[in-house]
Chains A and B, each alone.
With several copies, the nearest count.
Chain A
Amino acid sequence: MNFGFTEEQEMLRNQVVRFIDDECSIDVIRTFDRDTNQALWKKIAELGWVGLTIPERFGGSGLKWVDLTVVLEETGRGLCPLPLTSNALACASILRSGSIAQQQEWLPKIANGSVIFGFGLYDEPNWIDKDAITLEASDHITGTKTFVSDALLATHVMVGVQTKNGPALSIVDGEAINSIALDVMDRTKPAAQVQFDQVPATNDRFIPLTDADLDYVNSCGAVAVTAEMVGAAEAVLALTSNYAKERIQFGHPIGKYQGVKHRLADMFVDIESFKSLLYYAAWCVDDATGDLSQAASRAKAHASDAFAQIGIDGVGLHGAIGFTAEYDVQLYLKRAKWARTMFGDSDFHYNRVATLGGL
């Protein structure tokens, strides 16, 4: 029984924290662009974080999603815009569902940072299902993918398509497509609409997705986003607790008043809860795949709604300063709105929890 992190994992965490502090502070992320991404990506590839979950035989570190969780918690805490989640999902998909040839072709390039993936699964904005993948692919792809994460930061995109054999993920070169930046609320989670105009598609660029595969990749997505939410929510709690200790109103720090104190305590309870749910789900990705769907849904469902409220209350408890552009707490509120529905909102995931729980 050892439901905690190892010393190595804590060292990894410290390394990420240092990197965020030194190289990717909030000041950097406010003006983040493709160039910044490529410069930093090179560094983190050297640090081994990009290929964290890639087996050593493909040039990766051969670690697990629990280790990745450590990284994502900390990048989430810093609202770091590096496309780690998109690339972790690309790796997970290739590892689970790709051919040996595909693994040999792509994983080493991801690990060394020469290939960076944007990722987009569905075409309906609020539908998690294989039928929500509608872009058609044959020997070429023509059409539009409405929401592809990180497409503008990446060298390639991996997108959900429908082939004559069913759903698949397609790997497409960035140069073959036209990516139009979406004006998203959370600029640290850039996304694009991607247009495909007669883009040639050979068989080796398709990774077929069975129902179980799609469930797996969506669950991994939910785990990754929830890991980022844990760090981000803890950042809101820390920012707001500190403010509550310092801000004097009516002669006392506002944190003395139970109206503030108890709400912060409830935030702590929520974060502890979805953090524990998350850790178990992350462990399931590698060590108990049969439990993954349920565990991921519990974590994402809880976090989606709790973090949404934490974002709102974090801003609200700061009073007027909280919603000024220059103050950081509002950035987290925007992140919460982005994260809330990515890979499924609470309605979707709670319903899945009910189903998997026998109702």
Chain B
Amino acid sequence: MDFDFTPDEEAFRTEVREFLSENLPPRNERPGSFLREWLEKVRARGWVGFSWPKAVGGSDGDVARQAILKEEMALAGAPPLGTSFMGLAWVGPGIIQYGTEEQKTRFIPDILDSKVTWCTGYSEPNHGSDLAAIQTKAERVGDHYRVNGQKIWTTGAPYADWMILLTRTDFNTEVKHDGITCLLVPMKTPGVEVRPIENMAGDRHFAEVFFTDAEVPIENRLGEEGRGWAVTISALANERSSIGEVTQMSGKLEDLKQLVRESRKQGAPASDDPLVRRQIAEFETKIAAMKYNGLRYLTRQLRGQPLSSETSVNKLLRASLEIEMDDFAVELQGQEGVQLQTQTARWARSSLSWPNVVIGGGTPNIQRNIIGERILGLPKD
């Protein structure tokens, strides 16, 4: 057991750190052109789509270097490596795995160059967690599919260029996983209408998307007709180590400790209060658990051993931390905690935003089913 990276890997870490110290000015010293330049620079380094094959413009980066890159970026509080989170997280990998050569050429460079952003048309009004039950219909008409139906909770739809869309091309299959087809749809397609939804924090990041006789060329189908479920599964599974998230949570914990140091509770420093101390220590411990869980799972990947559904462990830990840390910070501040324009209002705002993370990635109850059924082997519901 050791926690050392190889000299080559450490050299890579040094490279990343040096790049960051040269190219990432403090938040309040960044010029207006910063983000565009940042994206160009990290692209030039080959760090966008770092794990993708060189053939499509990636860097064939190995698992250890991926982890190092993620960790250093998160530690430095760096902006994302591209403008399309979903494009990099699963649309790109999906196209690389299932796309035609033509599709790879057409879509991958734009994702890497941050020229387009993608959204994900999975959820429908009546089928939140149950993806396989989708009803949005795609009929083949000549050289295109005619799409009718509705998606909902489509994050980023109000400002996306493209959507990866799950449709049903066959309603008569025995198994509902069959008959699903995956399409890549320009958001400007006639018949595609986006209606933003406001969430409880007042943000409008997600939307309903309506399809009315929207025509999508056949060459925009990803994978075979009726085999879209495989594409989806591989996309959902395309999550790697949670090392970046852990670093983020650690940063948040440091901020929370700072809040504690600056707060008073019942007329005394909050940091002296044993109940406050215990709560912070529990957060610290859970985050450490996420970190070392992540390193154990990373080690398995490095050894080429397959991961089962263990990533659900860190998802559950993160879900509870996301809810509890904000909630604690709001409560600690008493009447000040419930205000949205104070110096520390980030906690109040963030306490209204946890469902993005907690529900978006599969509800905690779904994660518990996954662990119970796939890891512990308990009977299905």
Q: Which residues of A contact B (CB under 8 A)?
A: 1-6, 66, 122, 124-129, 131-132, 146-147, 182-186, 191, 237, 241, 244-245, 248-250, 252-253, 255-262, 264-266, 268-269, 272-274, 276-277, 279-280, 283, 287, 295, 298, 301-302, 308, 312, 315-316, 319-320, 322-326, 330, 333-334, 337-338, 340-342, 345, 347-348, 350-351, 353-355, 357-359
Contacts and interface: CB of A to CB of B under 8 A. Distances in A.
Contacts of A319: 128-129, 359, 363
B308 to A, nearest CB: 11
B282 A1 contact: no
A320 B336 contact: no
Contact of B368 (A183, A258, A295): A258
Contacts of A276: 289, 291-293, 295-296
A200 B130 CA distance: 66
30 contacts: A3-B292, A3-B298, A124-B264, A124-B334, A126-B335, A129-B267, A182-B339, A185-B339, A237-B376, A241-B376, A249-B129, A250-B129, A257-B381, A258-B369, A262-B365, A264-B378, A265-B369, A268-B376, A273-B293, A279-B296, A301-B282, A316-B358, A320-B153, A324-B200, A337-B327, A351-B274, A354-B281, A354-B284, A355-B277, A359-B276
B6 to A, nearest CB: 8
B289 A273 contact: yes
A245 B379 CA distance: 7
Contact of A126 (B9, B263, B291): B263
Nearest to A333: B200
Given A241-B376, A277-B288, A357-B257, A183 B339 contact: yes
Contacts of A128: 266
B310 to A, nearest CB: 7
Given A2-B302, A302-B289, A348 B266 contact: yes
B153 to A, nearest CB: 4
B372 A255 contact: yes
B42 interface: no
Contact of A125 (B257, B275, B313, B334): B334
B1 A298 contact: no
Given A1-B302, A342-B335, A126 B266 contact: yes
A250 B381 contact: yes
A2 B1 contact: yes
A66 B3 CA distance: 13
Chain B contact patch, size range: 35 or more
Contacts of B339: 182-185
A5 B288 contact: no
B200 A308 contact: no
Interface in B280-322: 280-282, 284-286, 288-293, 295-296, 298-300, 302-303, 310, 313, 316-317
Nearest to B287: A298
B313 A269 contact: yes
Contacts of A1: 2-5, 9, 64, 67, 295, 298-299, 302
A191 B317 CA distance: 35
Interface string B240-283: 00000000000000000100110111110001011111101110
A345 to B, nearest CB: 6
Contacts of A183: 339-341
A265 B371 contact: yes
B333 interface: yes
Interface string B326-364: 010011111111111100000010011001001110011
Nearest to B363: A319
Interface string B215-244: 000000000000000000000000000000
Contacts of B352: 185, 323, 330, 333-334
Interface in B1-19: 1-5, 9
Nearest to A185: B338
A253 B368 contact: no
Interface string B120-147: 0001001111100100000000000000
